[in-house]
């Protein structure tokens, strides 16, 4: 049995200034930490790029208790082609819904759900209702053209619990009190294009070899074998990167190392703003 918790979803972003405004001023999230890197990540955390890049963790609370967004920015890459793999992030909160309604940001509303898109086109669904529990981010929804194959991978191989299933949607979680991973059926091939993202989970350190063996036994792809990633001045984190039948990248990090790495940096907000100002490619 694998015990784990959903950590974050990785978005590639084009304009850091516009995204900083969207996630902070429109969605009301807080910068938890900001990191700058001189070259590409060994585990392709920033995608298949070798250039300078940055990572901004942003959300409604620390990653030890909340699901958050990871915004990866590749210097000089102004935009990405949006595929049909990502459906949206669902956030439940009257406060956040009120913020959306009072903003000048464009949105659609249907049955008390406000739909809006980030500057790069990623969808967010804001449910105008009191949030249940600590974290208002309730689910990450991806698209799939084969619910049964998707369920087999996540339930039978990665040992995730099925929360609910219909003919059109599958919801899973390691812990039902945390953000759920949901798959929505579409009748077309999945094309991830260049904007493809990644979802991360934390698991105990000694669970990672078990996951590695499960994947090998089931002849599924491993994008990055177990590797230790270093962040200057911070804890090392061991990761293994997989891909599900839809090509969704999955990162399993060790809970012990990540809990040290993911501590909130009180200077994160100022660091992000500083590097936006210094960025020669920044448009806004």
SS3 content of the chain, % helix, strand, coil (to 5): 20, 35, 40
User: Who contacts 58 (Cβ-Cβ below 8 Å, separation ≥6)?
Assistant: 23, 24, 29, 30, 31, 32, 68, 69, 71
96-123 in b/e form (b: 16+ CB < 10 A) is: bbebbeeeebebeeeeebbebbbbbebe
| Structural domains of the chain in order of their starting residue, each with its CATH number | 5-278 (3.10.180.10)
User: Who contacts 197 (Cβ-Cβ below 8 Å, separation ≥6)?
Assistant: 9, 10, 11, 12, 85, 86, 248, 249
Do 94 and 128 contact (CB within 8 A), yes or no? Answer: yes
Q: What is the pTM of this model?
A: 0.95
Can you give 166-208 as a three-state secondary structure string? Answer: CCCEEEEECCCCCCEEEEEECCCCCCCECCCCEEEEEECHHHH
Cα distance between residue 284 and residue 216, in whole Å: 46
**Collapsing DSSP states into helix, strand and coil, what is residue 165?**
strand
pLDDT tens across the length of the chain (284 residues)? 688 999 999 999 999 999 999 999 999 999 999 999 998 888 888 999 999 999 999 999 999 999 999 999 999 999 999 999 999 999 999 999 999 999 999 999 999 999 999 999 999 999 999 878 889 999 999 999 999 999 999 999 999 999 999 999 999 999 988 999 999 999 999 999 999 999 999 999 999 999 999 999 999 999 999 988 877 777 788 999 999 999 999 999 999 888 888 899 999 999 999 999 999 987 65
H-type helices in the chain, by residue range? 16-21, 94-102, 147-151, 208-217, 255-261, 268-278
Could you give phi then psi for residue 154, rounded to 5 degrees? -75, -35
């Amino acid at each position: 049995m694998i015990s784990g918790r959903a950590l974050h979803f990785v978005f590639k972003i084009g304009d850091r200034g516009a995204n900083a405004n969207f996630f902070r001023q429109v969605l009301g999230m807080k910068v938890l930490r900001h990191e700058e890197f001189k070259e590409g990540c060994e585990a392709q955390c920033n995608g298949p790029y070798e250039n300078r890049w940055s990572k901004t963790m942003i959300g409604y609370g620390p990653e030890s208790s909340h699901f958050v967004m990871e915004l990866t920015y590749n210097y000089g890459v102004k935009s990405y082609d949006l595929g049909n793999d990502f459906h949206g992030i669902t956030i439940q909160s009257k406060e956040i819904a009120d913020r959306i309604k009072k903003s000048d940001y464009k949105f659609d509303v249907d049955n008390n759900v406000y739909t809006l898109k980030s500057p790069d086109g990623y969808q967010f669904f804001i449910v105008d209702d009191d949030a249940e529990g600590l974290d208002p981010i309730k689910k990450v929804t991806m698209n799939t053209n084969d619910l049964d194959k998707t369920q087999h991978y996540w339930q039978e191989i990665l040992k995730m619990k099925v929360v609910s299933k219909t003919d059109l949607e599958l919801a899973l979680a390691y812990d039902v009190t945390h953000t759920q991973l949901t798959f929505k059926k579409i009748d077309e091939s999945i094309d991830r294009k260049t904007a493809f993202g990644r979802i991360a989970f934390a698991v105990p350190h000694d669970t990672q070899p078990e996951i590695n063996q499960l994947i090998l036994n089931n002849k599924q792809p491993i994008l990055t074998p177990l590797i230790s990633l270093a962040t200057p001045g911070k804890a090392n984190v061991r990761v293994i990167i997989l891909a599900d039948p839809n090509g969704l990248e999955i990162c399993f990090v060790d809970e012990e190392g990540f809990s040290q790495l993911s501590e909130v940096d009180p200077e994160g907000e100022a660091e992000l703003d500083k590097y936006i100002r210094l960025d020669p490619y920044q448009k806004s």
